[in-house]
């Protein structure tokens, strides 16, 4: 496949990019830091055994919506037809940190909801213009129910999940395949030092689940899959009980 990745320099995005490169997919990387993009591209080229410069890069920042269009234009021009645009980028902070810092709250809400939506709109336009393709975006199980530890982060992810579902309904008949990835706790630099809940996963495990989801074309990918059933139970809990619980 020809794949555009936003967020491939760290964590799960990096693990996913390495799997794609290893199987021979053509990649184009987008991200905030040009030096990290270049280093990631060279790493992937070595792993895939391709020539230096085979993987293109362009700057793109979810906190700067104007950066989406030129970055995507560069990617589409380099790859020709794009089979998939994958978005793993986003921000995370604990509820306590967000409550203490309104500026941080604004950045997280913008990056994880409005910035991601605006990027997806730009990607959607370009995928539809070529006749279709896949838009695969990371949301979170945190968006499945309002919960004490993730009030603000969960709200952003809830909005993103609903947007992706609506996008799937609206444009599926025109060839746009939308995949919403809903991971649980992932062991990355963003979660380092936090108490680890049950069913925590490494980036490599999540990346493998996403690849299987892409192959199967399912609109929602739960990773690890057990979260589908965990969140089903949590969604069914009465509000009065949720008020007493700490998760």
The C-alpha atoms of residue 96 and residue 90 are separated, in whole angstroms, by: 18
Whole-Å CA distances, 244 to 147, 196, 227, 239:
11, 21, 22, 9
Residue with tokens 């999540």: 206
Residue 45 buriedness (CB in 10 A; 0-12 / 13-18 / 19+): middle
Side-chain-facing half-sphere of 227: CA atoms under 13 Å: 24
H-type alpha helices, the chain: 11-22, 34-48, 68-79, 95-100, 102-109, 115-129, 151-171, 203-216, 226-236, 239-244
- List the domain range (segments joined by +) for residue 9: 2-244
Percent of the chain whose pLDDT exceeds 90: 87
Helix (H, G, I), strand (E, B) or coil at 242: helix
pLDDT tens-place string over residues 177-230: 999 999 988 888 777 777 777 888 899 999 999 999 999 989 999 999 999 999
Query: In whole numbers, what is the pLDDT of the chain averaged over residues?
Result: 94
The pLDDT, as a whole number, for residue 74 is 98
Average pLDDT score over residue span 164-170: 98
Contact 85, 123 (CB under 8 A): yes
How many structural domains are present in the chain?
A: 1
CATH number at residue 138: 3.40.50.720
Average pLDDT score over residue span 96-122: 98
Residue 135 tokens, joined? 């838009």
pLDDT tens-place string over residues 53-75: 899 999 999 999 999 999 999 99
Average pLDDT score over residue span 114-129: 98
The C-alpha atoms of residue 187 and residue 56 are separated, in whole angstroms, by: 28
pTM: 0.94
H-type alpha helices, 89-171: 95-100, 102-109, 115-129, 151-171
pLDDT of 170 higher than 80: yes
Cβ contacts of 225 within 8 Å, gap of 6 or more: 209
The pLDDT, as a whole number, for residue 190 is 74
Residue 229 buriedness (CB in 10 A; 0-12 / 13-18 / 19+): exposed
Residue with tokens 């589908």: 228
pLDDT band (50, 70, 90) for residue 85: very high
The C-alpha atoms of residue 108 and residue 95 are separated, in whole angstroms, by: 11
The pLDDT, as a whole number, for residue 47 is 87
């Amino acid at each position: 496949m020809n794949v555009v990745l936003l967020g491939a320099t760290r964590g799960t995005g990096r693990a996913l990019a390495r799997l794609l490169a290893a199987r021979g997919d053509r990649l184009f990387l987008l991200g905030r830091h040009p030096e990290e993009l270049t280093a990631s591209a060279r790493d992937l080229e070595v792993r895939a055994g391709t020539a230096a410069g085979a993987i293109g890069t362009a700057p793109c920042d979810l906190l700067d919506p104007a950066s989406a269009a030129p970055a995507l234009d560069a990617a589409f021009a380099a790859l020709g037809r794009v089979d998939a645009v994958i978005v793993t980028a986003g921000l995370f902070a604990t509820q306590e940190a967000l409550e203490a810092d309104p500026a941080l709250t604004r950045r997280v809400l913008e990056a994880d909801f409005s910035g991601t939506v605006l990027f997806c709109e730009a990607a959607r336009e370009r995928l539809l213009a070529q006749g279709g393709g896949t838009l695969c975006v990371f949301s979170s199980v945190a968006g499945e129910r309002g919960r004490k530890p993730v009030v603000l982060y969960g709200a952003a992810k809830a909005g993103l999940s609903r947007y992706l579902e609506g996008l799937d309904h609206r444009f599926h008949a025109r060839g746009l395949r939308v995949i919403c990835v809903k991971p649980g706790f992932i062991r990355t630099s963003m979660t380092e030092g936090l108490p680890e809940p049950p069913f925590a996963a490494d980036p490599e495990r999540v990346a493998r689940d996403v690849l299987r989801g892409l192959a199967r074309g399912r609109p929602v990918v739960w990773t690890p899959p057990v979260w589908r059933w965990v969140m089903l139970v949590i969604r069914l809990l009465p509000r009065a009980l949720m008020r007493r619980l700490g998760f």
